[in-house]
């Protein structure tokens, strides 16, 4: 009996495993996000395909009465979707699909209206216009539905047609006067959205001056949010020699046009474009730019300024790993995403679609990537040519313009956790939000927004140290800085007596340091045949404040030596090594490791190149300094670097984000100071005039670059020689 029960239990477990694998196989794509390094991180599915809305499904669910009317008037193929282009969902969950149709087909160009269960409730294709004349659409491309109206972008007839919610004609917003457009411009509306004040915003596919704002009578209000055009210095110079015709035909200097838009309840316009230069868009993604210059999606306020939050690891521009290519096992696609539509969902979510990859990228109100799903393919859930997106409550509808169908995606339990966490955060129910974030991390420990949410809750509870740790997990420097500021304030209040003691101790230490240096250097004025290493090092303090006298004495009074110079160089290298491992977290949030060899080379190599190049040039141009003099003067000029780098590295562990600029300012001062010391050091060593020293210094920089180039060329040649010899040896071994 026990063996029988054990077998039944074993078979049940196996069956459940098989069913779970089969259920997972139903979803034909991977859901993922990106970490701070741009590496794809797989996550549980937030959305899974539920059903497909097609011509067949609409016909199947059609009521007999409507079917008979449609068949009597237009024939049995009337409901065959021919060229669907856009989709919209109203506040009741009703779905509106734009079918541009075919000019050769009767009844082409219409709006298919479905109820919340995707049954046909209305078809808008013919109407009597405001002149009392029978009218119809011509290749409509866009639709937007409010709680009272249906607005259609009738592209072929260059107008916006407005109906009530039951399909009765209301009015036409005609083409604006031609004098508001540049010469030879064509008005072709492809997307439309109204605001609460009655203004109508239109995207024209052939207009690149921004979103067009119109009144209901067609009067023109202005262009909103025109795309910026960036011209580099070389292009600007070259344009000065171009003819007027060449300038006019050069499309790279023309603003790019928008391709779609929607509007939120507060009147902010979300607009998309796919005409941005791919290389520039890729560069903006890789540099993690927060600017909107090459952004494929923007959030425009009524004045046309972009106010979108871009607080994620990467800007909301679609695919991040644009170089390696992403796609299913049969298709590999690289390059920047082609963003063709944007949709606003619940809980502050919003999504854009990449037509190139048929993927959906969903973000929160801060521009943080929540998840990516979708792929190209023939299976249910994949899309051949993703054209439009719309939210239907918690569902997402994706329109496939190749198959002329719409796939409905249902939000999973994991997606519900994300939505509930976002909603509770917006409602300021932070304790409840933490519970959801914790549940998310149990299923996906790569979800950075959960760490941020938990950290914010701990911050509000006064648990600053724990909050800082959670913000570290998410690489959130802004919230980390706020938590650290509160923690530091709390620490200062607890140990307020220590603060003046520490300040006085630091001041006394600095005062002793410079007094001792002055004392040692004063004793060293007497000529000595041989000086100790300590005396040579302390003299560097005198040199940085008195460069002309200091460098003169180093050369003529033997106040410095190769030994002292090399020691200063070693101290400088050690200072940068300490900086690479000792900086505060805000200065190195991604904890990028530093190679000790690279740090050493970053200091020693520039010094070596400068010394060699300067000595080579000055021997030809009456320079009085030897190679030894140039080396000693250059190394002594490095003294400000360790004097600033070491203290600023320590200080970097105790500053907030707002105070980081002070640390950067002092480090910049050290570099500038060092540069001036090297310049005046060479001037003194070689006994040059100011003008001649400027010329020689510039030539030295050029010479260093030439030496570097020759060294790289020689290294490559040596590698090829060794490779050639190695191949010959291998070939001989094989033949023997």
82: pLDDT strictly greater than 90: no
How far is residue 719's CA from residue 495's CA, in Å, rounded to a whole number?
Answer: 61
Question: Which pLDDT band holds residue 11 (cuts at 50, 70, 90)?
Answer: low
Which of 55-69, 308-322, 471-485 has the lowest average pLDDT?
A: 55-69
Which tokens in the block code for residue 348? 């502050």
Cβ contacts of 274 within 8 Å, gap of 6 or more: 259, 296, 338, 339, 340, 355
- Average pLDDT for residues 579-603, to the nearest whole number? 85
Question: Which pLDDT band holds residue 101 (cuts at 50, 70, 90)?
Answer: confident
- Average pLDDT for residues 643-665, to the nearest whole number? 93
Contact 135, 128 (CB under 8 A): yes
pLDDT at 253: 43
pLDDT at 249: 46
How far is residue 279's CA from residue 411's CA, in Å, rounded to a whole number?
Answer: 35
pLDDT at 360: 96
Beta pairing, strands 269-272 & 297-300: antiparallel
Higher pLDDT, 151 or 79: 151
Which of 77-81, 99-103, 236-240, 272-276 has the lowest average pLDDT?
A: 236-240
717: pLDDT strictly greater than 90: no
- Average pLDDT for residues 43-61, to the nearest whole number? 89
Higher pLDDT, 26 or 95: 95
pLDDT at 369: 93
Beta pairing, strands 220-224 & 405-411: unpaired
Question: Which pLDDT band holds residue 251 (cuts at 50, 70, 90)?
Answer: very low
Alpha-carbon distances, residue 290 vs 267, 270, 300, 488 (angstroms): 23, 17, 15, 29
HEC-encoded secondary structure of 543-570: HHHCHHHHHHHHHHCCCCCHHHHHHHHH
Contact 679, 551 (CB under 8 A): no
158: phi > 0 → left, psi -120 to 50 → alpha, else beta; which?
left
How many other C-beta atoms can be found within 10 angstroms of the C-beta atom of residue 447? 24
pLDDT at 720: 87
Q: Which tens digits make up the pLDDT trace of 198-212?
A: 899 999 987 778 899
pLDDT at 573: 94
Cβ contacts of 540 within 8 Å, gap of 6 or more: 560, 564, 568, 636, 639
How far is residue 279's CA from residue 284's CA, in Å, rounded to a whole number?
Answer: 9
Q: Which 8-state DSSP code applies to residue 475?
A: T
Q: What share of the chain is helix, strand, coil (3-state, %, to 5)?
A: 45, 20, 35
Tokens 């790279």 belong to residue = 252
> Which pTM was predicted?
0.77
Alpha-carbon distances, residue 526 vs 135, 551, 558, 673 (angstroms): 106, 16, 11, 28
Question: Which pLDDT band holds residue 15 (cuts at 50, 70, 90)?
Answer: low
Higher pLDDT, 411 or 106: 411
The whole-chain average pLDDT of the chain stands at: 85
């Amino acid at each position: 009996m026990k063996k029988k029960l054990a077998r039944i239990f074993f078979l049940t477990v196996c069956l459940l495993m098989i069913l779970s694998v089969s259920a997972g196989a139903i979803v034909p794509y991977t859901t993922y996000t990106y970490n701070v390094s741009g590496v794809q991180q797989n996550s549980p599915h937030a959305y899974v395909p539920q059903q497909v809305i097609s011509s067949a499904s609409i016909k199947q669910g059609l009521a007999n009465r409507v079917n008979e009317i449609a068949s009597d008037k237009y024939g049995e193929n009337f409901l065959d979707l021919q060229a669907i282009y856009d989709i919209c969902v109203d506040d009741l969950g009703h779905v509106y699909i734009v079918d541009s149709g075919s000019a050769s087909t009767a009844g082409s160009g219409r709006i298919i209206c479905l109820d919340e269960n995707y049954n046909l409730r209305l078809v808008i294709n013919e109407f009597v216009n405001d002149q009392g004349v029978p009218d119809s659409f011509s290749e409509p491309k866009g639709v937007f539905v409010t709680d009272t109206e249906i607005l259609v972008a009738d592209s072929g007839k260059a107008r916006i047609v407005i109906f009530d919610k039951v399909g009765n004609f209301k009015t036409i917003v005609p083409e604006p006067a031609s004098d508001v457009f540049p010469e030879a411009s064509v008005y072709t509306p492809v997307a439309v959205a109204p605001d609460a004040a009655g203004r109508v915003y239109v995207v024209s596919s052939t207009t690149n001056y921004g979103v067009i704002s119109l009144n209901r009578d067609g009067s023109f209000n202005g262009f909103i949010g025109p795309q910026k055009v960036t011209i580099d210095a070389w292009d600007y110079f070259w344009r000065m020699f171009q003819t007027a015709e060449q300038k006019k035909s050069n499309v790279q200097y023309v603003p790019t046009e928008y391709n779609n838009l929607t509007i939120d309840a507060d009147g902010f316009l979300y607009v998309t474009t796919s005409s941005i230069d791919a290389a520039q868009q890729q560069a903006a993604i890789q540099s993690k730019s927060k600017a909107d210059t090459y952004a494929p999606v923007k959030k425009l306020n009524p004045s046309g300024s972009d106010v979108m939050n871009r607080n994620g690891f990467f800007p909301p521009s679609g695919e991040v790993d644009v170089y390696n290519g992403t796609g299913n096992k049969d298709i590999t696609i690289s390059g920047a995403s082609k963003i063709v539509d944007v949709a606003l969902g619940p809980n502050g979510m919003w999504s854009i679609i990449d037509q190139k990859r048929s993927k959906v990228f969903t973000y929160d109100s801060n521009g943080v990537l929540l998840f990516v799903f979708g792929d190209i393919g023939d299976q249910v859930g994949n899309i051949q040519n993703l054209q439009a997106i719309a939210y239907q409550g918690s569902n997402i509808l994706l329109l496939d313009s190749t198959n002329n169908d719409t796939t409905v995606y249902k939000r999973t339990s994991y997606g519900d956790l994300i939505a509930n966490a976002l909603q509770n955060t917006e409602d300021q129910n932070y304790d409840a939000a933490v519970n959801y974030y914790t549940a998310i991390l149990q299923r996906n420990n790569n979800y950075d927004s959960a760490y941020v949410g938990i950290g914010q809750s701990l911050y509000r509870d006064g648990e600053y140290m724990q909050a800082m740790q959670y913000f570290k997990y998410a690489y959130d420097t802004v919230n980390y800085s706020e938590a650290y500021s509160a923690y530091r304030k709390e620490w200062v209040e607890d140990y307020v007596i220590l603060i003046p003691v520490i300040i006085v101790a630091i001041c006394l230490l600095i005062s002793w340091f410079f007094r001792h240096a002055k004392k040692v250097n004063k004793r060293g004025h007497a000529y000595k045949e041989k000086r100790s290493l300590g005396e040579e090092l302390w003299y560097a303090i005198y040199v940085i404040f008195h460069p002309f006298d200091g460098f003169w004495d180093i050369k003529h009074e033997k106040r410095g030596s190769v030994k002292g110079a090399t020691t200063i160089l070693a101290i400088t290298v050690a200072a940068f090594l300490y900086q690479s491992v000792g900086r505060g977290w805000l200065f190195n949030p991604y904890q990028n490791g530093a190679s000790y060899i690279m740090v050493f080379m970053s200091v020693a190599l520039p010094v070596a190149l400068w010394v060699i190049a300067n000595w080579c040039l000055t021997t030809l141009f009456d320079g009085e300094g030897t190679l030894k003099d140039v080396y000693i003067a250059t190394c002594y000029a490095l003294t400000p670097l360790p004097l600033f780098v070491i203290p600023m590295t320590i200080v970097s562990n105790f500053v907030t984000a707002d105070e980081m600029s002070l640390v950067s300012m002092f480090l910049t001062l050290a570099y500038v100071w060092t540069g001036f010391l090297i310049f005046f050091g060479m001037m003194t060593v070689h006994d040059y005039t100011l003008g001649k020293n400027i010329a020689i210094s510039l030539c030295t920089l050029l010479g260093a670059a030439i030496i570097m180039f020759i060294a790289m060329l020689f290294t490559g040649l040596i590698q090829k020689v060794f490779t050639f010899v190695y191949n010959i040896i291998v070939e001989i071994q094989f033949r023997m």
